[in-house]
Amino acid sequence: MLISEMAVPGAYRVEPEPLSDSRGYFFESVKVSALLAESGWNLAVRQVNFSVSKRNTLRGVHGTKVPPGQAKFITCVRGRALDIAIDIRVGSPTFGHHDVTYQSPETGTAVYLPDGIGHAFLALTDDTCMSYLCSQEYEPGTMIDIDALDPDLALPWNLTEPPIRSAKDAAAPTLAEAAVAGLLPAYDQCRRYPSLLDGLR
């Protein structure tokens, strides 16, 4: 597999190398030792989530307060998705920057997002299913929501019609508003805090 750091430092794109035969194909989605060697994080899974979305559903931008943090390994297991990682770490040299990954089961491409990296995706087909391997169990009241249509973020959704969004996502503050309100994690805090408890950065 090819593991490469994204334009948002600390976030990684994982691209498997499928093996094909008459039955179909097989690939390793992630190997913990390889991710650890490349990123410095040991992938420890404490919760697994799935979301299923209609075409043109826009989910996010979502993050988690630090602590407790919640790193994520995200892949599309059905359908197709335009997946975006956003740096929401106050004080980061790439604060507000993003990187785009197209995900589908055929490619198996996944993203690994540590603490302080926001996540959003647009479902490009009906019945798009995303899998999330999470480093921590969900704790109510710790989620961070940012408007995925924030004009200052200018995320490249290339929408041709209004997206389907939850009321919570539609009412989320802009990145600047969230920063002023003290809702965002600090860059240094995210770099120090080991959200994957079995590994050290």
Please tell me the distance from the alpha carbon of residue 163 to that of residue 63, in angstroms, as a whole number. 20
Cα–Cα distance, 99 to 91 (Å, whole number): 18
How many helices (H) and strands (E) the chain has is answered by 4, 13
Say how many Å lie between the first and final Cα of the chain, rounded: 21
CB atoms within 10 A of CB 1: 17
For the question of residue 62 being annotated catalytic, the response is yes
Rounded Cα distance between 56 and 14, Å, is 25
Q: Residues 12, 25, 62, 119: which is the catalytic one?
A: 62
- Which two structure tokens, joined as six digits, stand for 174? 């802009």
Question: Looking at 97, 112, 119, 132, which residue is catalytic?
Answer: 132
Residue pair 42/199 in contact (Cβ under 8 Å)? The answer is yes
Annotated catalytic, 187?
no
Q: Which amino acids are annotated catalytic?
A: 62, 132
